[in-house]
Every structure is written in structure tokens, then in C-alpha cells.
Amino acid sequence: MRIEKVVTSGTFSLDGGTWEVDNNVWLLGDDDEVMVVDAAHDADAIAAAVGDRRVTAIVCTHAHNDHVNAAPALAERTGAPILLHPDDEVLWNLAHAEAKPDGPLADGQTLRVAGVDVRVLHTPGHAPGAVCLHVPELGVVFTGDTLFQGGPGATGRSHSDFPTIISSIREVLLPLPPETVVHTGHGADTTIGAEAPHLDDWIRRGH
Ligand SMILES: [Fe+2]
């Protein structure tokens, strides 16, 4: 069992603005099969990292276009289903006019890959259908854009809400074991224990 990171580059667009971004694409699996977390920007690069392994699912932490823009192309190449929380359908539809997710993600759902359980945690705020993926056996959580090194994901644009992301982080993420490694959607890893002491600072500053 191993976790691999592929960094891909492209743009994020919302509310009439477009920004250059680097995204972390996470591969969780073994020599035989792999789960892809966030098929961002570059299906070729992701497929190269997958190699000849079976892709069990393309899991979307949320449907901002930078996290899902390569999902249909990767699904077509691999035959893997695209899984998304239904509350992010509105964002998915901004990214993809025709392609649709193949199945829903739900809070409390358990996915399996390479013999380990992956728990789906619904953590709205950055996006209404944002989820984190907790792998207790490995002591890791994939947080997408919900929690970064240094604070919560952005909530200044449409379909985001700051009090909601704070309550998701407080109620759902911070109770995880402090040594849990946080694999984020952009930038560096952190841990739950490194971020937890700063919650009140984030609330005070308002982002
Ligand atoms: Fe996002």
C-alpha cells in the first residue's frame, strides 16, 4: 500500500475570474489497484502514474473545475467511475456541460482500495458537497480544499461559506487523531495536531 502525489497545473475559474493553479492529485493503492483523488488538469500525467493498475474510482473532493476537469477523460481511459457528493452538482455543471458523475459520495460511506477502508466525511463550506477521505489504517486524511497547512480553504466565492467550513473543521476534522497526516488539494502536507491550535485565530481573522 502506498500513497503517491502527482502535481498538475492548469487554471481555476469561478465568478468570472481565472487563476493559474497547481493541484495535488493523490493515488492511493498498491501494485494492482489504485484510487485517484481529484483528477486535476492532466489525464495523461495521471494515467502515466497509474500505469497498468486498475483504477477503482475517481473520487472528487469537490467539483471546482481545477479538481474535476480531467475526470471524464481519465474515466474514459480507465473505465473507473467518477464519484462526487451530490451537493456539488451545481459546481460540476459549471465544469462539465455533458459528462456526469457516475455515482454519489455520502457522509459515512466506506470505500475500499487495496484492502484498506477509506471513510467519506462530508465537510461542506469551501463547497457544499466537499468531502474529506479518512484512511484510519494509514493515519491519513485527504482534505481537498477544506483544510490546508495554515488554515481553511477559501470561502470568498460563490457556493462557499466561512461559518460552515469552520464547523466542518471543528466537528469533523479536528477530532481525528492529532498525528493524522493531512494531504491537501494544493501545496504542502500538514497534520491535524499542527493545525488544531489555530482554529480560534482563523475564526478571528475570518478566513
Ligand atoms: Fe476548490
> What confidence tens digit (pLDDT) does each residue in 68-108 have?
999 999 999 999 999 999 999 999 999 999 999 999 999 99
Dihedral sign from CA coordinates of 189, 192, 193, 194? positive
Residues spanned by the domain of 19: 2-205
Distance 138 CA to ligand 1 centre (A): 25
Mean per-residue pLDDT of the chain: 98
Distance 200 CA to ligand 1 centre (A): 23
Three cell numbers at 146?
A: 477544506
Rounded distance between C-alpha atoms, residue 36 and residue 61, angstroms: 11
Distance 51 CA to ligand 1 centre (A): 27
Rounded distance between C-alpha atoms, residue 10 and residue 87, angstroms: 24
Distance 110 CA to ligand 1 centre (A): 23
pLDDT in tens, 117-127: 999 999 999 99
Cell 494492482 belongs to 32
Distance 32 CA to ligand 1 centre (A): 30
Q: What is the pLDDT of residue 108?
A: 98
Rounded distance between C-alpha atoms, residue 115 and residue 30, angstroms: 9
CATH of the domain at 142: 3.60.15.10
The SS3 assignment for 15 reads: coil
Q: What is the pLDDT of residue 36?
A: 99
Rounded distance between C-alpha atoms, residue 134 and residue 118, angstroms: 6
pLDDT in tens, 146-183: 999 999 999 999 999 999 999 999 999 999 999 999 99
For 9, other C-beta atoms within 10 Å of its C-beta total 13
DSSP state of 169: I
Distance 67 CA to ligand 1 centre (A): 7
Distance 99 CA to ligand 1 centre (A): 19
Are 134 and 118 in contact by the 8 Å Cβ rule? The answer is: yes
**3-state helix vs strand vs coil in the chain, percent to 5:** 25, 35, 40
Q: What is the mean pLDDT of residues 18-47?
A: 98
Distance 20 CA to ligand 1 centre (A): 13
Structurally, the chain folds into a number of domains equal to 1
Q: What is the pLDDT of residue 131?
A: 99
Percentage of the chain modeled with pLDDT above 70: 100
Distance 152 CA to ligand 1 centre (A): 11
Q: What is the mean pLDDT of residues 32-55?
A: 98
Three cell numbers at 1?
A: 500500500
